[in-house]
Amino acid sequence: MADQGEWVEFPGPGGTFKAFVARPDLPSPWPTLICIHAASGLDAHHQNVTRGFAAQGYFTVSPNIYSPDPNYLTFKLEDIEDGMIIGTRIKDVPAYLATFPESRRAEILRAHHWMEARPQKGFIHVIAACHAWLKSRRDVGAIGVIGYCMGGRLVAELAVSGAVLAAGVIYYGIDPGVANVAKIRCPLLGHYGATDRHITDRVPGWAAALKAAGKDFTYHIYEAGHGFGNGPHLSAYNDAAAKLAHARTYEFLAKHLKKVAVAAE
């Protein structure tokens, strides 16, 4: 039985960042999982995801990448979700906004502009700082990482940085390119939606580059769209795809993260 979780702080670039953590009901050192939220933020659903992994036996740490950004708290989750696809999957913005009640259109557009202005290139430094903080702790064993959407991209970025990891799981995160795939030091698992073409169409090429570099990367494509596993509170959620992807994730982590941590004790 995992605890209900708590907020902590860790040192990051330019100050401190908050993280939501949940501990397993097991003696430390624990197999540890960095759980990176989607672009919509570290919301109530992601906190439940954190607790769920702790219940599976992992010390789970979800860094809040938006910690220093007071503007994030001024948005509703649904406005961020509906604004984030403008410019990528939605080109005709006026026609798209017209499908929503007039009372929401300005907020959706405001959320889109906020997302466009986020300092995304700096997000990987927050995740790297969280990884370094965990490595310094005596109650932490092997470390893995999982991420959704934006968080999935950060999983790949952390892996190609050469970080010492036992496992990485990518949920529909765009790859960071092939330049540094030789630095990857852990097996990777990827989950992608068939209709999420601007991300999924790149996956075979990235997989080929990893294979050529001798890296372990397994991926699955589901009859679903982007964000299919981000939670039933969102319109993109696909129950069948999400449950299958989660089952594969649990199996993968048990093999590559939990088993490694136990062997090291």
pLDDT in tens, 132-161: 999 999 999 999 999 999 999 999 999 999
Q: What is the pLDDT of residue 120?
A: 87
Q: How far is CA 186 from the centre of its chain?
A: 17
Beta-bridged to residue 220, according to DSSP, are 191
Question: What gap in Å lies between CA 221 and CA 226, rounded to an integer?
Answer: 11
pLDDT of residue 1 exceeding 60 = no
Give the pTM. Answer: 0.91
Enclosing domain of residue 55:
6-67+121-264
Q: What is the pLDDT of residue 14?
A: 87
188 and 247, same domain (yes or no): yes
Confidence of residue 263 (pLDDT cuts 50, 70, 90): very low
For 164-178, how does the pLDDT look when each residue is reduced to its tens digit (9 = 90+)?
999 999 999 999 999
What is the average pLDDT value for the chain, to the nearest integer?
93
**Count of structural domains, the chain:** 2
153 and 33, same domain (yes or no): yes
Structural domain contains residue 166: yes
Interval 48-54 mean pLDDT: 96
144 and 113, same domain (yes or no): no
Residue whose C-alpha is closest to residue 64's, from 123, 139, 117: 123
133 and 28, same domain (yes or no): yes
Domain endpoint, select from 117, 144, 176: 117
Q: What is the pLDDT of residue 260?
A: 63
DSSP E strand stretches across 124-197: 140-148, 167-171, 188-193
